[in-house]
Every structure is written in structure tokens, then in C-alpha cells.
Chains A and B, each alone.
Chain A
Amino acid sequence: MRRTSRSVLPGFGLSLGITCTYLSLMVLLPLATIFARTTELSWPTFWATVTNPRVVASYRVTFGASLVAALVNTVFGLLVAWVLVRYRFPGRRLVDAMVDLPFALPTAVAGIALTTLYAPNGWIGSRLDPLGIKVSYTWLGITVALIFIGLPFVVRTVQPVLDDLEVEVEEAAASLGARRWQTFTRVVFPTVAPALLTGFALAFARAVGEYGSVVFISGNMPMKTEIVPLLIITKLEQYDYPGATAVALVMLVVSFVLLLTINLLQWAARRRMAI
């Protein structure tokens, strides 16, 4: 505390007080109830709840679809970021602004729009249906919704890194005889990789918890297209609070691990940039 009192600026006590009180009451205390309520369960009951076949099936749906969506987002996110930073074309600024649409659009709106679009009689669904591809109310639909939700995370983490990349480095690679593709894979890609990984992790973390955009398109069939967040809601509606809490705890731990990983990735990236 002695170090802080040296500052001539006022308001340290007040601002830190407000911040800590608010965080404790609004965020930490409510989150702690999940941990506290889980202790009411015995270990065997807890284990039986979180390894129940229907619950395990929902993990598979949620994590599988999130993984595929985050991978698709990584590929196309890099492409979109590259095109936006490196090339000039009419409407570029508009496209740049549009990338944030999934952040701004309420998830329920995205959900009903995507469901209608990919339903067997929808604009896209009706073209895929004759090919035998069903999107709405299947696992594929969940993935489509998660791709929509996760896209800006990858684009917005990769974009600033590409922007800062000095052309001189690429010039050096070219003058040393590297082909354009070699320059990309050996010089550009390694520089962008940490940001790309962070973007992937952010998109994945968001997808794992996503609810609004997915419930409409998923069809919500237990064992097949039921996502974990919906399973938690179903348990809550049946007043199975211990069950809901146990599954929520598993998801919460996964989220915290992801948050920690993302922070470590960003910290490592910053250190690399500093050197």
C-alpha cells in the first residue's frame, strides 16, 4: 500500500472499492454459488450426473460442433483478415464494418434467420435438400450457427497483427530468393500463428457456451442434437437444480481453463512482439 500512496492522483480507494465490491457482489458471489451448491451433492451422485449417457452425448455435440466451427472460422477468418488488410477493393470499409455483425445482432435473431435459411424449404436448404444434405435440425445446423457466431473473433484478433507486419520482412524474404508461397508459410504465417490460435480459442470458447443462435436450428433431440446449455435449461425447468448445477460446474471449469489458456496465449504473443 505504501507504493500506491506515493501517487498524487486521488480516488484510488474509492475506485478500487467500487470495483472490488461490485465484482464480488455481481460476479464472484453468484458464480461461487455453483461451486457451493455442487458440494451438496455426494461425489458418486455428482459423477453419475455428469457422466450420464444423455449428458455425455450433449458434451459430444457441443464440443464437436464448436471444434469444427472454430476450425472453419480459423481458415476463413485468416482469409478475410488477409483480404481486408492487404487488398484494396470497392466496399472494403463496409465489409470491414460488417464483420462485427455477429457481435451486434441479438443471438435469437441470428437463430431464427439461420434456421429459416437452412430449413428444407429455405433459400439455401431447398438447394441442399435434393442433394440429401439436411442442415436445419441436425448437427450440421449447430455448426453453421456457431460459425456465424465465432467469425469476428478470429478476424479481429488476426487483423491487427497482419496490419503491423512490416513489408520489409517480406521484401527480405523475397530478395533472398523465397517464392511468394514460401514467404507466406515461413515468414507471414509464423508471425500470425499466435493470434490465429488466440482467435481459434476465443471462437471455440464462445461456441461452447452459445445458446440463442443454436436452440432454433438444432432441433434439440436428446442424444443427437442437444447442446449442453439447453440440457442445463431443461434440468432447471424440471427443478432438477442439483443436476443442472453439476453439469454447469463442468462447463464452468472448461470455460475457466479456456480463459486461462487465452490469457496465456495473449501474454506469450505480447512477449514475442516485445522481443
Chain B
Amino acid sequence: MATLALSRPATTAPRTITRATGESRALRWTLISIALAFLALTLVLPLVLVFTEALAKGLTTYLGAIREPDALSAAKLTLLIASIAVPVNLIFGVSAAWCISKFTFPGKNLLITLIDLPFAVSPVISGMIFVLLFGAHSWFGPWLQDHDIKIIFAVPGMVLATTFVTAPFIARELIPLMQEQGTEEEEAAIVLGAGGWQTFWRVTLPNIKWGLLYGLILCNARAMGEFGAVSVVSGHIRGVTNTLPLHVEILYNEYAFAASFAVASVLTLLALVTLALKTLVEWQQRRATTDLAEDDSPLERTAA
């Protein structure tokens, strides 16, 4: 406020300020138009195309492609994989964020970097490492074969690959958030006699709920949409080891374009719902932090 009060008398009119630090109307609208045209071309057009192609052969074909048994089993497998990978990474994410944000210990930065590793690895390599571990020509291969356990080209391998790929999502969302929040509130709870779990549920969880939800949404979207890693470990057996993205590929390669885009449109809807939820959470988060800031100010005033 002080800087504003000082700068105002120095210049003649407020309008000159905006002109000095802003672009002319023409340039502004040119830049906006170029940016929007670029986004329309790269983002919106593919989106529109998916739905147009999906409905190109009529609604009956569309519904038929979605209700087909192979598509339904692919949808079921996609849900199954996500329902395992997401909770596992939720436990990992909360544990990692808890020890990294609430305690100091040597090697912390290394740990944060290691958590990021799956993001840096190509999806193809993410799938391949499990083939090297559990495939027929691997170290564990013969033992697994003797005991009739199938991991690669079967559902367990797909779960493993998806879990690997989605591992960092929740941890990465929570670590900076919890680091910022510090340890004071939890320490107060413990000092007042609350147990460890009680502190977590009553103090920590309400503080991180939006960040947690944000991470969950992104993790789930990736788990359901993962293609490269799952493709390597899947046996591509229709109705058995096909997820929705793999089903899209098979239909496309069979030149069943309308059916392929119909299934793709379901995944696109999932992506749009993900984006909507994500935006909603972001707004809630922003509102929560501004509420917090407003709550803080009277306290600070009384303290002063």
C-alpha cells in the first residue's frame, strides 16, 4: 500500500501507469488471438474430432461399440487396475509426505528425487522393467513358471506397471503442501494429549484434504489412461488383458474407426471430468488459503 501511495502523486494520471506497463489494445488482442488460435488448433480440434468420429456412424453404432462385451471387460479391467494402483500410491504418498515434511533427516533431498524417478522414465521402459523381472527369460521367470504364477502378459503385471507409473502423483502433490504447513499444529495436538492417528485424522487430514484430492484425481486419470507401460506387459488378449486404451488401439488397427473413437470418447469424457474436478479443487484450495489469510490477520493485529 505504501508504494502505491508514493507512486501515485509522481505520475499525472492513473491511465499513464497502465499504458506504461501494458500493451496497446491492438497488440493485446493480437496476442490473445494468436494464443487462442494455437490452443484451438492443438487442443480443441482433437477433442471435437473424437466426438465427431465417434458419432459418425450414428448413435446405434456408438452405443453398440461401448456395450460390446470386449469393451465392457476392458472397462472393468481398467477400473480394477486403478482401484489397486491408486490406494497403494495413496498410502505411499501420505507416508512419504509425512516423513519428508514433518521430520529432518539426512538424505531427504535424495529421497524426493527418487520419488520423481518414475516421471522421468519412458512408459515403455516402465513396462519393460517388469518384463525383465518377471518375464519368461527373467531371473524369477523359471520359478514363477514352476509355480504356475503368471505376472507378465497377465493382470498382475499390468497392475505393477500402472502402480510404478503413477507412484509419484500423490506424494508430489502433498510434499510441498505439507512442508509449507509446518509442524506446529500437529505438535500442539500431541502436547494437548492427542494420539498419533487422532492427530493425523483431526489435524493433518483436514489441512491437506484438497491437495490430497487433487493428487488422487491426477493419479486416477493416469492410472486409467496409461498406455505405453501397460501395452508392454499386457498380452493383448481381448476380453482378458485389455484395458480401455489398449482396446482403442486394437479397434483402430482393425480399421474399426467409429468403434475405436466411441471407446476413445468415453476416455475423453473421463479426461474432461478430471479437468473439471481439478479446476474445482483448485478454486476450493484458493478459497481455503484466502480464508486462512483473513483468519490470520486479526490474530496478527492483536499480537502486535
Contact = CB atoms under 8 A, between A and B. Distances in A.
Interface residues of A, number: 94
B3 to A, nearest CB: 6
A9 B187 contact: yes
Interface stretch (A47-55, A134-142, A192-200, A253-261): A253-261
Contact of B34 (A79, A108, A205): A79
A22 B31 CA distance: 47
A131 interface: no
Interface in A173-224: 174-175, 180, 183, 205, 208-212, 216
B277 to A, nearest CB: 10
Nearest to A73: B42
- Interface centre among B39, B190, B231, by most A CB within 10 Å? B39
A21 B103 CA distance: 18
Interface in A1-60: 1, 3-4, 7-12, 14-16, 18-20, 22-23, 26-31, 33-34, 37
A106 interface: yes
A268 interface: no
Interface residues of B, number: 102
A14 B95 contact: yes
A274 interface: no
Nearest to A230: B124
Contact of B227 (A3, A208, A211): A211
B128 A248 contact: yes
B271 interface: yes
Contacts of A18: 91-92, 95-96
B228 A229 contact: yes
Interface in A81-101: 82-84, 86-87, 89, 93, 95, 97-101
A112 B264 contact: yes
Nearest to A168: B3
A82 B22 CA distance: 12
Contacts of A205: 120
Interface in B141-192: 160, 163-164, 167, 183, 186-187, 190-191
5 contacts: A8-B190, A9-B103, A14-B95, A175-B10, A175-B20
